[in-house]
């Protein structure tokens, strides 16, 4: 579970509403 890099995936996937 430690190395599925969830935070990185979230940061790359997230939608920016600018």
Partner 1 sequence: PPDIPEVILKLLQLEPDEAQVKGRIVACLQQEQGKGRHERLSTFGLMCKMADQTLFSIVEWARSCIFFKELEVGDQMKLLQNCWSELLVFDHIYRQLQHGKEQSVLLVTGQEVDMSAIAAQAGSILNTLVLRAQELVLHLHSLQVDRQEFVCLKFLILFSLDVKYLENHALVREAQEKANAALLEYTAGHYPHCADKFRQLLLRLAEVRALSMQAEEYLYHKHLSGEVPCNNLLIEMLHAKRT
Nearest distance from C-beta of residue 3 to partner 1, angstroms: 5
Between 13 and 17, name the residue whose CB sits nearer to partner 1.
13
Nearest distance from C-beta of residue 4 to partner 1, angstroms: 9
Cα(13)–Cα(15) distance, integer angstroms: 7
Rounded to 10 degrees, the C-alpha dihedral 6/10/11/14 comes to 180
Element (DSSP H or E) covering residue 13: helix 6-13
Binding mask 1-18 for partner 1 (x = CB under 8 A): -xx-xxxxx-xxx-----
User: What are the residues binding partner 1 (CB under 8 A)?
Assistant: 2-3, 5-9, 11-13
């Amino acid at each position: 579970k430690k190395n599925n890099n969830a935070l990185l995936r979230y940061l790359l996937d997230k939608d920016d509403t600018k």
